Amino acid sequence: MDKNKITISNNQITKDEINGYILQKHNKKFLGIFRFNIWVYETANQGKDNRVNRWLKKTIGQKPVILDTVQTNTSLKQIKAYLNNKGYFSSHIAKNIKYKKKKAIVNYNIRLSTPYTIRNISYAIRDRMIDSLVTSDIPQSFLKKGDIYNAYTLEDERDRITTFLKNNGFYYFSKEYILFHVDSTLKSHQLNITIDIQDSKKQFANNSNFSETRSHPRCFINSIYIFPDFSPEVGTNVPFDTINSGNNRYFLYKDKLRLKPKSVIRNLFLKKNSPYRMEDVQLTYNRLSGLGVIRFVNFDFSSSPDKKSTVDSTWLDCHIQLTRNPLQRTSYGTEGTNKGGYLGITGYSTYQNINIFRGSEILNLKLKGSLEMQKNLGKSQPSNEFLFFNTIETGIEARFDFPRIVFPVKQERVSKFSSPNTSLTGGFNFQLRPFYKRYITNLSFGYEWKQSQTIAHILSPFEINSVRIFPSSEFTDYLNSLKDPRYKYQYTDHLIMALKYSLIFSNQGQRHQKHFEYFRLNMETSGNSLNLYSKYIDNTRNANGDYTLFNIRYAQYLRSDFDFRYYNAINPRNLIVIRAAAGLGYAYGNSKSLPFEKGFYSGGANGMRGWRIRSLGPGAFRDTSDANFDKMGDILLEGNMEYRFPIYRFLKGAFFADAGNIWTLNTNSDFPDGKFSSSTFINQIAMDAGFGIRLDFSYFIFRIDGAIPIRSPSLPQEDRWIKVPAMQIGDIIWNFAIGYPF
User: Is the pLDDT score of 461 beyond 90?
Assistant: yes
User: Is the pLDDT score of 703 beyond 70?
Assistant: yes
Strand, helix or coil at 133?
helix
Per-residue pLDDT, 54: 79
Q: What is the pLDDT of residues 497-526, one digit of tens each?
A: 999 999 999 998 766 567 899 999 999 999
Residues 6+ apart with CB under 8 A from 300: 318, 319, 321
Closest Cα to residue 608, out of 632, 640, 580, 655? 640
User: Is the pLDDT score of 337 beyond 70?
Assistant: no
| DSSP conformation letters of 548-581 | EETTEEB--EEEEEEEEEEEEEEETTEEEEEEEE
Average pLDDT over residues 333-352: 75
Q: What is the pLDDT of residues 241-262, one digit of tens each?
A: 888 888 899 999 888 888 899 8
Per-residue pLDDT, 510: 67
pLDDT over 90 for what percent of the chain? 50
Cα–Cα distance, 370 to 483 (Å, whole number):
32
Please give the single-letter amino acid code of residue 621. Answer: F
Residues 6+ apart with CB under 8 A from 146: 117, 118
* Domains by residue range for the chain, with CATH: 3-111 (3.10.20.310), 117-214 (3.10.20.310), 218-324 (3.10.20.310), 329-449+473-478 (no CATH)
List Cα–Cα distances, 68 to 72, 81, 97, 546, 710, in angstroms: 7, 21, 11, 82, 49
Answer for the pair 324, 312: CB distance below 8 angstroms, yes or no: no
Residues 6+ apart with CB under 8 A from 102: none
CB-facing half-sphere around the CA of 198: CA atoms within 13 A: 13
Per-residue pLDDT, 32: 65
Strand, helix or coil at 94?
strand
- Is 739 or 163 the better-scoring residue by pLDDT? 163
Per-residue pLDDT, 387: 58
Per-residue pLDDT, 385: 57
Answer for the pair 151, 85: CB distance below 8 angstroms, yes or no: yes
Per-residue pLDDT, 628: 59
Cα–Cα distance, 585 to 556 (Å, whole number):
11
Per-residue pLDDT, 388: 64
Per-residue pLDDT, 205: 47
- Is 583 or 541 the better-scoring residue by pLDDT? 583
List Cα–Cα distances, 222 to 44, 276, 285, 306, 317, in angstroms: 68, 10, 19, 8, 6
pLDDT band at 391 (very low <50, low <70, confident <90, very high): confident
Pick the most confident of 334-338, 380-384, 736-740: 736-740
Backbone angles phi, psi at 380, to 5 degrees: -65, 140
Q: Lowest mean pLDDT: which of 213-217, 469-473, 553-557?
A: 213-217
Per-residue pLDDT, 30: 67
CB atoms under 10 Å from CB of 620, counted, come to 24
Encode burial over 373-407: b for 16+ CB neighbours within 10 A, e otherwise: bbeebeeeeeeeeeeebbbbbebebebbbbbbbbe
Burial bucket for residue 139 (CB in 10 Å: 0-12, 13-18, 19+): exposed
User: Is the pLDDT score of 208 beyond 60?
Assistant: no
- Is 211 or 134 the better-scoring residue by pLDDT? 134
Residues 6+ apart with CB under 8 A from 127: 197, 199, 215, 216
Cα–Cα distance, 130 to 123 (Å, whole number):
11
Beta strand 362-372 with 342-353 is antiparallel
User: Is the pLDDT score of 578 beyond 50?
Assistant: yes
Average pLDDT over residues 351-359: 92
Distance in angstroms between the alpha carbons of the first and the last residue of the chain: 38
Answer for the pair 74, 23: CB distance below 8 angstroms, yes or no: yes
Please give the single-letter amino acid code of residue 161. Answer: I
Q: What is the pLDDT of residues 59-102, one digit of tens each?
A: 777 788 888 889 999 999 999 999 999 999 999 999 999 988 88
The overall average pLDDT reported for the chain is 87
Cα–Cα distance, 337 to 367 (Å, whole number):
17
Per-residue pLDDT, 662: 96
Residues 6+ apart with CB under 8 A from 665: 586, 634, 635, 675, 676
Per-residue pLDDT, 143: 95
DSSP 311: S
Q: What is the pLDDT of residues 661-680, one digit of tens each?
A: 999 998 887 788 999 999 99
Q: Lowest mean pLDDT: which of 259-263, 543-547, 719-723?
A: 543-547
Cα–Cα distance, 518 to 347 (Å, whole number):
34
Average pLDDT over residues 471-495: 77
Residues 6+ apart with CB under 8 A from 408: none
CB atoms under 10 Å from CB of 277, counted, come to 19
Per-residue pLDDT, 608: 95
pTM of the model: 0.81
Please give the single-letter amino acid code of residue 445. Answer: F
pLDDT over 70 for what percent of the chain? 91
User: Is the pLDDT score of 221 beyond 60?
Assistant: yes
Cα–Cα distance, 329 to 352 (Å, whole number):
5
Per-residue pLDDT, 372: 77
Per-residue pLDDT, 521: 97
Strand order in the sheet with 294-303: 241-244, 249-253, 218-227, 313-324, 294-303
- Is 489 or 130 the better-scoring residue by pLDDT? 130
Cα–Cα distance, 707 to 605 (Å, whole number):
10
Average pLDDT over residues 225-248: 81
pLDDT band at 123 (very low <50, low <70, confident <90, very high): very high
Per-residue pLDDT, 204: 45
List Cα–Cα distances, 330 to 349, 352, 356, 365, 623, in angstroms: 7, 6, 15, 9, 47
Average pLDDT over residues 93-112: 90
Average pLDDT over residues 406-432: 80
Q: Lowest mean pLDDT: which of 23-32, 149-158, 181-190, 215-224?
A: 23-32
Residues 6+ apart with CB under 8 A from 290: 403, 419
Per-residue pLDDT, 713: 94
Average pLDDT over residues 419-430: 94
CB-facing half-sphere around the CA of 67: CA atoms within 13 A: 18
List Cα–Cα distances, 18 to 109, 123, 240, 407, in angstroms: 11, 33, 59, 57
Cα–Cα distance, 738 to 461 (Å, whole number):
31
Per-residue pLDDT, 513: 63
